[in-house]
């Protein structure tokens, strides 16, 4: 090894070390900001708890068979008890079990809808913001049309064209959801593209694709992350609304909105059929919102001290 090489490598490792240190410092600061905020910690734990319960649903629920079209009319309409924490429904199924399985459906819905709509929205937003001109005009005017209706109404309208199933509901929600991400990314891209590092990249002849995905996209990352977390809650909310109106999850599948819709027919006597699934939805959406809010505080670079 020559002297030159060794100097070079030591300089390299020094840079790595400082980078790692600054990364660790950044993580530390972010975590500090996040952990100082008990509300966002609570949100994170709530979401984590629900996800774990949903994944392990067949193992943690007392009556996994009750998730489907099981019937046991002898134990129908039992109020909450030790053997049935949330009571039983009109055909004798354990409500607690169905709520946990209902979480599976809700989380699945959020994952599928965002999995389809977010990449699509991001791509169109990047293209619209970066290229501008008529491309931007067309894309953004189309999003305007979608945004002229409340998301639930738009989803309802799309759903109405099909026989209601949960898959169709997911597609319908995904079909409108991309517009929000498209707008967000479009506005960020528009402001970033005039910055020097993007222009420098253009000057040294990077391809458009490279600039879009290597220079601009990483700068949208934290905004996207916060938006996705908050959106998960909203998608679940819209999904529950569709199910409540009979256009989402179809029985005997356990959807939280569907369960509430059926349960509400038995108010006020069989209150547990409404109250527990309601609380379950609320718990999950609240968790996502608190987490999203915490992430927003954490990822925003705020002025400190002096």
Write each residue from 214 to 243 as x if it is in contact with other proteins (CB under 8 A), else as -, in one continuous string.
-------------------x---x--xx--
For other proteins, the binding residue among 23, 32, 197, 213 (CB under 8 A) is 32
Listed ranges 8-16, 92-100, 153-161, 178-186: which one lies at the site for other proteins (CB under 8 A): 153-161
Residue 204 binding other proteins, by CB under 8 A: no
Residue 8 binding other proteins, by CB under 8 A: no
Min dist. Cβ of residue 109 to other proteins (A): 14
For other proteins, the binding residue among 23, 162, 197, 213 (CB under 8 A) is 162
Instruction: Give the whole-angstrom CA distance, residue 270 versus residue 160.
Output: 31
Residue 274 binding other proteins, by CB under 8 A: yes
Min dist. Cβ of residue 62 to other proteins (A): 25
Query: Smaller CB distance to other proteins: residue 142 or 225?
Result: 142
Distance of CA 260 to the CA centre of its chain: 22
Residue 39 binding other proteins, by CB under 8 A: yes
Min dist. Cβ of residue 237 to other proteins (A): 6
Residue 246 binding other proteins, by CB under 8 A: yes
DSSP 3-state of 94: strand
Whether the CB-CB separation of 127 and 135 falls below 8 Å is answered with yes
Site residues (vs other proteins, CB under 8 A): 29, 32-33, 39, 141-142, 144-146, 148-153, 156-163, 233, 237, 240-241, 244-247, 257, 260, 264, 267-268, 271, 274-275, 278, 281-282, 285-286, 288-290, 293, 304-306
């Amino acid at each position: 090894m020559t002297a030159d090489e060794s100097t070079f490598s030591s300089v390299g490792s020094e840079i790595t070390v400082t980078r790692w240190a600054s990364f660790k410092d950044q993580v530390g600061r972010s975590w500090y900001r996040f952990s100082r905020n008990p509300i966002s910690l609570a949100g994170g734990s709530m979401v984590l708890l629900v996800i774990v319960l949903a994944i392990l649903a067949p193992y943690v629920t007392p009556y996994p068979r009750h998730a489907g079209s099981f019937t046991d009319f002898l134990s129908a309409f039992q109020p909450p008890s030790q053997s049935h924490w949330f009571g039983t429904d009109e055909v004798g199924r354990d409500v607690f079990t169905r709520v946990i399985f209902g979480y599976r459906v809700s989380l699945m819905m959020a994952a599928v809808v965002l999995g389809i709509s977010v990449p699509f929205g991001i791509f169109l937003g990047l293209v619209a913001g970066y290229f501008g001109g008529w491309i931007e005009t067309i894309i953004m005017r189309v999003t305007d049309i979608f945004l002229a209706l409340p998301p639930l109404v738009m989803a309802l309208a799309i759903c109405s064209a099909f026989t209601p199933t949960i898959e169709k509901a997911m597609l319908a929600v995904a079909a409108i959801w991309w517009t929000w991400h498209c707008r967000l990314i479009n506005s960020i891209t528009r402001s970033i593209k005039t910055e020097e590092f993007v222009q420098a990249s253009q000057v040294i002849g990077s391809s458009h694709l490279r600039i879009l995905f290597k220079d601009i996209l990483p700068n949208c990352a934290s905004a996207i992350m916060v938006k996705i977390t908050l959106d998960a809650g909203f998608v679940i909310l819209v999904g529950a609304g569709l199910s409540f109106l009979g256009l989402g999850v179809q029985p005997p599948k356990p959807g939280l909105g569907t369960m509430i819709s059926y349960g509400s027919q038995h108010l006020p006597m069989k209150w547990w059929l409404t109250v527990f699934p309601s609380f379950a939805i609320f718990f999950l959406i609240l968790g996502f919102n608190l987490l999203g809010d915490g992430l927003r505080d954490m990822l925003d670079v705020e002025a400190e001290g002096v």
